[in-house]
Amino acid sequence: MTFGERAQRAYYWTAVSFLWLTFGFSHRFRALGREHVPREGSVIIASNHRHYLDPIFMGLAIPRPVAYMAKAELFAIPVLGLLSRGLYAFPVHRGAGDRAALRAAGRILQDGGALGMFPEGTRQLGPALGEPQAGTAMLSLMTGAPIVPAALLGTELARKDNPARRRFPRVEVRFGEAIQPDTGAEDRRQEMARLTAAMMDGIRRLGGFPA
């Protein structure tokens, strides 16, 4: 490990400690099923998305350094942008087919890293999950990385546009069993559809979201 990598790792765990003090205790945060997240090797953690703070709570829940895509606008917010980069986040431009972000994600997985993703692509407010995008399954199939479904609960209650808003809602993350891609599948389009359906069903079951 190079000096730069050691410095980044130290910054990461320092940021996690700070975020626990800032958000973890105030939101009575807890993570369930962390044993489903492999401690080594490439893996994609795929979660529902409700609040711009979701990447931070996912970073607190995952028991290893994890990189994740975050909307580019987040990096314009001074404190959140700095903390997000400390948690290995990298920007993605929504709705623009951001190939640079996909290439960065692919490199992380090929190097044996962990990648957090929000398959819905944008935040949802209603009880149901949004339509998944193809990027998560595509990266899994390209790199052989398993997908661990996760449900993030409670952050929707912190949104200003939610009539049931609470100042400090309880936040919980639940992880499910990993979904393995069939990298030798002849019909890759069909395999991507299977991975996407299994991933979203896993998220739905973990979070109790309606079908």
* 3-state class (DSSP) for residue 169: coil
Residue 148 CA to residue 8 CA, distance in Å, equals 25
Pair 45, 37: CB distance under 8 Å: yes
Nearest to 48 by CA among 186, 175, 180: 175
| Chain segment 164-204, per-residue pLDDT in tens | 566 777 899 999 999 999 999 999 999 999 999 999 999 99
132: Cβ–Cβ under 8 A, 6 or more apart, which residues? 119, 120, 121, 196, 199, 200
| Chain segment 7-27, per-residue pLDDT in tens | 778 878 887 888 788 887 878
pTM for this predicted structure: 0.87
| Number of domains present in the structure of the chain | 1
Question: Which domain, by its residues, includes 82?
Answer: 3-207
Task: Write the CATH number for 167.
Answer: 3.40.1130.10
